[in-house]
Amino acid sequence: MTATAINPSQIPSATRARRFAQAMKGFLISPRWLFVIIALVVWQTYAVFRNSRLIPTPVKVGATMWRILTSGIFFEQLAASMTRILIGFSLAMILGTIIGILMGSRKSYDQFFKAMVILGLALPGLIYALICVMFFGISILAPVTAILAGSYPFVVINVAEGVKSLDKDLIDMSRSYKIGRGKIVRQVILPSLLPFILAAIRNGFAIAWKICTLVEVFGAVSGVGYMIKNSFDQYAVYGIVAWALMFGGVMLLIEYGLLVPAERYLARWRPKVKQVI
């Protein structure tokens, strides 16, 4: 018989290097750069042609981004926003996980919370932002409460789904082997819940930072949203674009650099991971 199964640890380093080079080549020679070039050229030409204060050139946006980055303002404001997001989102995770577990385990809880969760999913973050700003002014309670109210429903639906998909047969199997309760929770229930919790973090976090930005637009004296609002008030389109792209970039980095790989790792025992893009 031929040995077809290849153990990764047996791959000689030369092959590994070649594989890395191939991956790099795949990254560098990709139509994605064609898009970037076309977009930049079209944007630059249009901006120069229009010659309007309202349409900044990509060069100017780039310069603004560089300035914000090197002067350290970006990290200052990012830190202010991140503090609010983390506090608000941690609370949303706690509340969402509790309700999600309740909804997943009992039908009556599911019915009880369902209408509220649907309403919560449907209402725009704007409403939470405006109302919290009116209640709490520029205190930190405003973003925290708005994030909590806006992102917990997304945590709920993911956690509830995870609890509903728990395999009762596996728990019965563990019981038949007389495995202790703590061990069942640690080795059976938690591992099957983890991918869903990670998905909850990913979806909820994406909503959380958007709501935080909104709150900062309407009522804050610091944070990325506040800086975007400042640029808006001065009709500085380049400022809006620069701040939005950089903040969006950081959030994408967190999502695709941290959360997606973590989710994939935790769900690696599943036959197929549903990949959105």
Binding site for other proteins (CB under 8 A): 1-2, 30-32, 34-36, 39, 54-55, 108, 111-119, 121-127, 130-131, 134-135, 157, 160, 206, 209-210, 213-214, 217-218, 225, 228, 232, 235, 237, 240-241, 244, 248, 251-252, 255-256, 276-277
Instruction: Give me the least distance between CB of 187 and other proteins, in Å please.
Output: 29
Closer residue to other proteins in complex, CB, 108/176? 108
Tell me which amino acid residue 243 is. Answer: W
Cβ-proximal residues to 129 (8 Å cutoff; 6+ apart), any chain:
146, 150, 211, 214, 215, 217, 218
Closer residue to other proteins in complex, CB, 123/185? 123
Instruction: Give me the least distance between CB of 213 and other proteins, in Å please.
Output: 6
- In residues, how long is the chain? 277
Contact 173, 111 (CB under 8 A): no
Instruction: Give me the least distance between CB of 35 and other proteins, in Å please.
Output: 5
Closer residue to other proteins in complex, CB, 188/260? 260
Instruction: Give me the least distance between CB of 249 and other proteins, in Å please.
Output: 9
Instruction: Give me the least distance between CB of 251 and other proteins, in Å please.
Output: 6
Instruction: Give me the least distance between CB of 254 and other proteins, in Å please.
Output: 10
Structure tokens at 20: 């890395």
Q: Is 264 exposed, middle or buried (0-12, 13-18, 19+ CB in 10 A)?
A: middle
Q: How far is 141 from 135, CA to CA, in rounded Å?
A: 9
Closer residue to other proteins in complex, CB, 187/234? 234
Q: How far is 5 from 101, CA to CA, in rounded Å?
A: 41
Q: How far is 101 from 197, CA to CA, in rounded Å?
A: 11
CA nearest to 152, candidates 225, 204, 109, 222: 204
With tokens 């900062």, the residue in question is 216
Closer residue to other proteins in complex, CB, 55/98? 55
Closer residue to other proteins in complex, CB, 180/249? 249
Closer residue to other proteins in complex, CB, 14/276? 276
Closer residue to other proteins in complex, CB, 193/214? 214
Instruction: Give me the least distance between CB of 175 and other proteins, in Å please.
Output: 29
DSSP state of 219: S
Instruction: Give me the least distance between CB of 200 and other proteins, in Å please.
Output: 13
Which region, left, alpha or beta, applies to residue 42 given φ > 0 means left and ψ of -120 to 50 means alpha? alpha
Q: How far is 270 from 192, CA to CA, in rounded Å?
A: 10
CA nearest to 65, candidates 56, 57, 74: 74
Q: How far is 17 from 234, CA to CA, in rounded Å?
A: 51
